[in-house]
Amino acid sequence: MKTIELFAGGGGLGIGLFRAGFHPVKVIEWDKYCCDTIRENKRRCIASVKDWDLFEGDVRTVNFSDYEGKIHLVSGGPPCQPFSLGGKHRAHLDSRDMFPQAIRAVREIKPQAFIFENVKGLTRSAFRNYFEYIKLQLTHPELVIHPDETWLQHLARLEKAHTSGNETALKYNVVTRILNAADYGVPQRRERVFFVGFRCDIRMKWSFPEPTHSQESLLWDQYRSSDYWERHGIARKQHSMSEPCPSRVNAISERPRLKPWRTVRDAIHDLPDPQLDLEPKKFFFNHVYQAGAKSYPGHTGSRLDEPAKTLKAGDHGVPGGENMLCRNNGSVRYFTVRESARLQTFPDNYVFHGSWTETMRQLGNAVPVLLANTVGSSVFKHLQAIQEGHFQDDFRLY
């Protein structure tokens, strides 16, 4: 199925959607380092990106009307700085807010479906009205803002249209949900908000995939069965659980049905220590020690036997002061780029371009590949059912 990827970044969402069965006819990204990363992996013929038609430039210059009727899915992660806890919190006043361009792409392409994601901060109470504004615009993408309207006036007009019962020519059924990547097998507690919409005329019934992993299962494996330690060849008396047994463990009466959350140890246990191995890059791309990590209030690093804290792109100076491994003795070091890529579930043969600062920025902004694949696979399965005639379908590719 054909897609257009907006705001591709380092490629996390696009790789996940490719694995789900989607094939992009156009990939759009303006950041040079992200584009260098994609081009390098295209050059190396990495399967998930080798056929991407990459456009390096401003999405505002792209005429999406050329793709009307030719695309099944539009996807992307509009720049999140206006909504991030690490950003300036300006939302609609911020020129970096690219949601209007995502909505324009939907309006001009008229795809069967779309998948957009953003930071959890977008759902904060301070942005709640703007969150609803984005959702209503995606629902009614042809009801565009007038030149003399404020966004609040436009919101009021969208609300009236939405409650009037009058059908617009182009309308989408839109659902949103905050997903924790750890609940889907990503070794990182990373919460993102997803917008998924299906064109109303295809009459799709869809819901977000159910979680496959849980914290309770991890606690069971660590404190009850010790299966976790056995998997890693660690004797029960030697394991590193220095903290007292969490009280919630006592409430778990039987083995949970879901798989255990994956931890930092699960993700990086087979990588050499970058401080001890002087030439790890011979065996693993981007696995180079970065000095200078320090622990201070609010930036204490991620424990080895828990999912990582959210990797961050950073706003000032060294990105992601929290992007550190906290060893069992309390010392910290920065995750290498390869370790961070593991925590974001990128494949080991995927190379990142740029300085450590720039590559960590790409990873801090990325969608975990596995999470993108989980959501994308569910959407793909439902769209495929349309093609096979299981649902009403008046969508035609030409």
Active site residues: 80
Report the DSSP pairing between strands 259-260 and 213-214.
Answer: parallel
Query: Alpha-carbon distance 84 to 78, whole Å?
Result: 12
DSSP state of 369: H
Q: What is the DSSP string of 71-132?
A: -SEEEE----TTT-TTS---GGG-TT--HHHHHHHHHHH--SEEEEEEEGGGGSGGGHHHHH
Query: Alpha-carbon distance 12 to 365, whole Å?
Result: 9
Take residue 214 and report the two structure tokens written for it.
Answer: 């849980």
- 169 CB-near residues (< 8 Å, 6+ apart): 142
Distance of CA 166 to CAs 139, 221, 360, Å? 13, 54, 47
- 292 CB-near residues (< 8 Å, 6+ apart): 318, 334
According to the 3-state scheme, what is the secondary structure of 169-182? CCCEEEEEEEEEHH
Query: Alpha-carbon distance 38 to 102, whole Å?
Result: 21
* 57: alpha, beta or left? (left if phi > 0; alpha if psi -120 to 50): left
Q: Is 267 helix (H, G, I), strand (E, B) or coil?
A: helix
| Beta bridge partner(s), residue 175 | 196
Dihedral sign of CA atoms 313, 314, 319, 325 in order? negative
Q: Which amino acid is at 14?
A: G
Contact 80, 121 (CB under 8 A): yes
Which residue in this structure is represented by tokens 């099944």?
72
